[in-house]
Every structure is written in structure tokens, then in C-alpha cells.
Amino acid sequence: MTDDLFKKAAASIVEQDREAAMEIATQALAAGIAPSEIMAKGFVAGIAEVGELFESGELFLPELMMAAQAMEGAMSVTNAALGEGGGQAKGTIVLGTVQGDVHDIGKAIVIAYLKANSYEVFDLGRDCALETFLAKAAEHHAQVIGMSALLTTTMEEQKKLIAALKERGARDTYKIIVGGAPCTQRWADQIGADAYAEDASDGVKKIDALLGH
């Protein structure tokens, strides 16, 4: 039954069916499946398959966009179920997708997890300029800046932001965490980030560790 729902969830994304995706997400939650589990084993598996089909030329951009819309539909259901952690905030984070990059599905999941784990998070959206990251981090007195990048070309923006902080003598003002499919621990080390996370729950763990929770 559960495996069947995971398969249906993945299929709804591959078939670019937003309505079905939302319905399956609702069904899964009603069946007691955790939002994180239906996301990871169902919907994220589906969008990963879509990425492979796109890469091999079996799906084209319009279909990729419709699959992303189905994914957003599913996320609207699962993220709402995650809720907010409540209590005193464990820390303040500004998080966005870097300039030149419009991929924001992963970022939305990370934000939902962080909020559910009692962090105050300011969503800087997508295609976010380096200066906006820095201005918003200062404005909100953030402890952490999180940057998402999904393109090998836009990963460079993560490096540029760290370099800009160093140039201004402000590198130690913030902890920097990077993520997104092309990023790795090695990349994070290379650019001098404080942490890399492979997914949303790892992101919460890494930020907890950075802030001593």
C-alpha cells in the first residue's frame, strides 16, 4: 500500500499531472506517511527521473516545466503539513537560489524543514543577486546564509559571495551553507563554505551543528 503510493507519487510527476500529485500527497498524509517520506521516496524520485529523461532527450523543456509544476503542487500539500516548530527560534537564516538560476523546488523543501525545526528563515527567492544575499543577511541579523545552485554555471555565485565577504573583512560574520544537485562537500571545501548538505534533513543537521544545537 505504502510502496504503491510512493510509485504513484513518482508517476504523477513523470506524467506531469499536478492534480494527481496533490491528491496523492493528501492521500499519503491521511495514511499516516510522514511528509518527508512521501517527498523523498515518491515525488523527489519522480523529479529525478524527469531530470534523467530530459538529459537523454526523451522529455523537452515544456514537459520539464509541467513536471516542476506538478512537484510544486505536491509540495504545497506536504510543506503545509510540516508546519512550524514553534517556541523560541534556534537561529535566523537567509536562504535563496543564486543569480542566474531559477531552480527553487529544493530550496522550498529545505526552508520547510528548517521552519519545522524552529528556525526563522527568510526566503530570498530565486535568481537572487549576491548583493541581495548580503543586504538581507545584514538586515535580518542572520547567523547563516544558505545558497542553492542547480546549474554547474551558477555554482560560481556561491564562490563569489564568500570571496565578497572576505574582501570586506566580514567572512566570520556568517556561517555559509551550500546545496543543490551539482554541489558536493569537496566544492564546499574548495570555496571555503562552512557546510554542504545533500538534502533538507542533512541541511537541518548541518545548521544545528554550525550553531551548536
> Which of residues 143 and 148 has its CB atom nearest to ligand B12 in the complex?
148
120: helix, coil or strand? Answer: strand
195: helix, coil or strand? Answer: strand
User: What is the x/- site pattern for ligand B12, positions 10-49, by CB under 6 A?
Assistant: ----------------------------------x--xx-
The residue among 131, 195, 196, 191 whose CA lies nearest residue 162 is 191
| 139-178 binders of ligand B12 (CB under 6 A) | 146-148, 150-152, 177-178
User: What is the x/- site pattern for ligand B12, positions 62-81, by CB under 6 A?
Assistant: --xx--x-------------
Instruction: Give 44's contacts (C-beta < 8 A, 6+ positions apart).
Output: none
Amino acid at position 8, single letter: K
**Residues in the chain, overall count:** 213
The C-alpha cell at 138 is 545584514
Provide the minimum distance between the beta carbon of 141 and ligand B12 in the complex, in angstroms, as a whole number. Answer: 19
Distance between CA 203 and CA 196 in Å, rounded? 8
Provide the minimum distance between the beta carbon of 88 and ligand B12 in the complex, in angstroms, as a whole number. Answer: 22
Q: Strands 120-123 and 144-148: what pairing?
A: unpaired
Pick one of 14, 20, 179, 193: the residue that binds ligand B12 (CB under 6 A). Answer: 179
Residue numbers at the binding site for ligand B12 (CB under 6 A): 44, 47-48, 50-51, 54-55, 61, 64-65, 68, 95, 100-107, 109-110, 146-148, 150-152, 177-182, 197, 199-200, 203
